[in-house]
Amino acid sequence: MIHIECIRILAAYFVIFNHTGNDGFFLFAGYDRGSLPYWLYMFISVLCKISVPLFFMIAGALLLKKDSSLKKI
């Protein structure tokens, strides 16, 4: 269960970045598209888009019965 909680915390940070990332994008608007800060921001922005599917997967994992095994699924 501790692993699910760590993933949930990570997904929460990703959601925060998704909501504030567009404002941060304008900080990099003056940079050339070939520059490292621009591409680093774009990589982090794309990576953070998995936050909502992560929350759905965590909710689904927590809804499973404790006695069910992966072979039954």
Asked whether the predicted pLDDT for residue 72 surpasses 80, the reply is no
What is the pLDDT averaged over residues 9-29? 77
What is the pLDDT averaged over residues 55-69? 80
pLDDT score of 61? 85
pLDDT score of 38? 77
CA atoms within 13 A on the CB side of 40: 7
Domain residue ranges of the chain, discontinuous segments joined by +: 2-63
pLDDT score of 62? 84
**pTM of the entire structure?**
0.66
pLDDT score of 27? 65
